Chains A and B, each alone.
Chain A
Amino acid sequence: MIPDYLDRLERELNFDRSLARSVRQEVEDHLWEAVAVDCTGDTLQAQQRAIASFGDARVIAAGFAATSLGIHSRRAGVAAILVIASVFIAMKARIAWYAAAQWTIGDEMRAISGPVLLIDRHAFWLAVVVGLSSWAYIRSRPIPAALHPAYCRQLRRFFLLCSLAAAALVVSVLSDAVLTSILLRGTALSVEFLVPIFSMAIEIACAGILIARIRGISLRQASAAALIGT
């Protein structure tokens, strides 16, 4: 009976798997201790009483939702800033390498590279501004005791800001990829290619990490919203 209840609680907490595992252990300890101090001698009834006193698994899980979502959203805000900073460092390192190796874009490709460079710069600084705003926004919102509709709206706003920052960053990374391929076009393959290719790989990985984080928040929010919605 207690294992069934613990399974149900863990399922209800599926918006945060590591939390679900630790809460399960904690609640298991609680329920078996309640059974142990029950003096009636009937283990089955003692388990029933322990579960009834503990409360509905769905209600308990909903109690954890606000803190979990709040913490994960704040972490995603920090991750967004770190990712954008990493892309910036990779970008600057590549440009420094081009300068050191005296690699420049040929005149025939300047008509294409000019607008791409403009898009790259604007998209990157948009990602910086929106990323910082999203972090500042979620950091300034206190995490409530319960997941109420107002906090859900704040989390949605944060999600939208983060998504916008990620979209801008993806545009910037794609522009970087185009610029890199223009620069490397026609150059003989050599070991010097490794620096721009490696820096581009870092940028793509960073953008991927940010997208995965945002997707994670979206899934958590959907699970938690379903929990309080019924």
Chain B
Amino acid sequence: MLKGHLDMIVLAALSASGSAHGYAVIEEIKRRSGGAFDLPEGTIYPALHRLEQTGLLKSSWTTADNGRRRRVYTLTKAGNRALVDQRAVWKQFADAIAGLLGGSRPREKPA
């Protein structure tokens, strides 16, 4: 399940932290999920590269305090829009599941 939503998770983490490098994105995901998403850290990097290729992220190389080269990612406008869309879809899904499991009916979609 986590794998199918990895792109949304990465976009959300980057949206929260502004610009961040891979390690910081992973830390942000762990922090914001309360450690619930304990996925192999390396799996984030193919996702970051894929999101960059699809234009949802952009990256630049900087030099970290320790002198090492560091790749920093930032959400693009398209990435922000994609995150807004995914949030809406997720909320609709979560409401529907909550209604199903909790017995309450999900809110009607406005016409």
Contact = CB atoms under 8 A, between A and B. Distances in A.
Interface of A: 19, 22-23, 25-30, 32-34, 36, 53-56, 59-60, 63-64, 66-67, 71, 143, 145
Interface in B21-52: 21-23, 40-43, 45-47, 49-50
Interface stretch (B11-19, B62-70, B75-83): B62-70
Contacts of B22: 26, 29-30
A150 B21 CA distance: 32
Contacts of B50: 66-67, 143, 145
Contacts of B7: 145
A99 to B, nearest CB: 46
B45 A36 contact: no
A27 B68 contact: no
Interface string B71-99: 10000000000000000000000000000
Interface residues of B, number: 23
B64 A63 contact: no
A27 B45 contact: yes
B40 A64 contact: no
A67 B53 contact: yes
A110 to B, nearest CB: 53
A67 B66 contact: no
Nearest to B70: A29
Contacts of A34: 23, 41
13 contacts: A19-B49, A25-B68, A29-B22, A30-B21, A30-B22, A30-B45, A59-B43, A60-B40, A60-B46, A63-B47, A64-B49, A145-B3, A145-B47
B47 to A, nearest CB: 7
Given A64-B49, A145-B47, A145-B50, A29 B68 contact: yes
Q: Which of A25, A30, A66 has the most CB of B within 10 A?
A: A30
Nearest to B49: A67
Nearest to A68: B49
A138 to B, nearest CB: 14
A25 B40 CA distance: 18
Contacts of B69: 25, 29
Contacts of A60: 40, 42-43, 45-46
Given A29-B21, A30-B22, A32-B66, A22 B43 contact: no
Contact of A22 (B6, B21, B41, B71): B71
A50 B43 CA distance: 14
B40 A59 contact: yes
B107 to A, nearest CB: 32
Given A30-B23, A145-B47, A71 B53 contact: yes
B23 to A, nearest CB: 5
B23 A63 contact: no
